[in-house]
Amino acid sequence: MCRCARASARTLATEDLHHLSSDASIAVPVDAVMADLQGRVRERLRADLLRHGASPAFNDPELFAEVERVLHAGVDVAGSPALLLPELLGDPATWRLETALRYDSHRGSAAAGAIIFVKKRLVLPIVRWLFEYNRDNFERQRRVNAVLFACVQELAIETARLRRDVARHQ
C-alpha cells in the first residue's frame, strides 16, 4: 500500500470555523485519510480495468484488493536480491539481458585492432541511435522481468500456503 510511517497531521483552524479560536488546531488522523484515499484510487482503478475488459472476477472488490496486494508485494520484492527464480535459472549469462556494447574480435591482434577501430569510429556512430533505442528497451524489459519474477514468486508462495492449508483440512 503506502510506504508512509504512522503519523498524524494538524491543520490550523481558519476563520470559517467560528466555534474555534484562531490559534486552535484540529488533529487529523493521516492513516485514516490515506486509507480512504487508497480505497478510492483502488476503486477507480478497478472500475477502469473492468470498463476496458479486465477479468469479470474483478467485480469482487475484495478479490481485486487481494490481487493488488499480491502484485504490490511482488513489485516491492523485485528490487531486492531476494528472488528464488533467478537462482533456479542458473548462470545469469544465459538469461540476463546484456545492455553493454562490447568490442572484441576472434582474429589476430593486428587484424582485431583494425576491425575494432572501424567498429568504434565508423560503424558505431552510424548505428548509435539504433543501439541506444535497443538499450533503452532492454533496460525496460529487464525491469519488467524483475517484477514478473517477483510476482511469480509471490504467487508461488500464496499457492504453497493454500495447498498446505487444504492439506491440513483434509
pLDDT in tens, 15-71: 444 454 555 567 778 888 898 998 899 999 999 999 999 888 889 888 888 888 888
Per-residue pLDDT at 47 = 93
The tally of CA atoms less than 13 A away on the side-chain side of residue 72 is: 10
Is pLDDT at 88 greater than 70 in this prediction?
yes
Q: Residues 6 or more apart from 43 whose CB is under 8 A from it?
A: 61
Is pLDDT at 129 greater than 50 in this prediction?
yes
Per-residue pLDDT at 25 = 66
With a pLDDT cut of 70, the percent of the chain lying above it is 78
Average pLDDT (84-99) is 78
Average pLDDT (108-121) is 78
Q: Which residue has the higher pLDDT, 55 or 82?
A: 55
Per-residue pLDDT at 166 = 93
Judge residue 154's burial from the number of C-beta atoms within 10 Å of its C-beta, 0-12 exposed, 13-18 middle, 19 or more buried: buried
161, 82 in Cβ contact below 8 A?
no
| pLDDT tens-place string over residues 132-157 | 888 888 888 888 888 888 888 888 88
Q: Which amino acid is at 13?
A: A
Is pLDDT at 78 greater than 80 in this prediction?
no
Q: Residues 6 or more apart from 148 whose CB is under 8 A from it?
A: 74
Residue with cell 472476477: 57
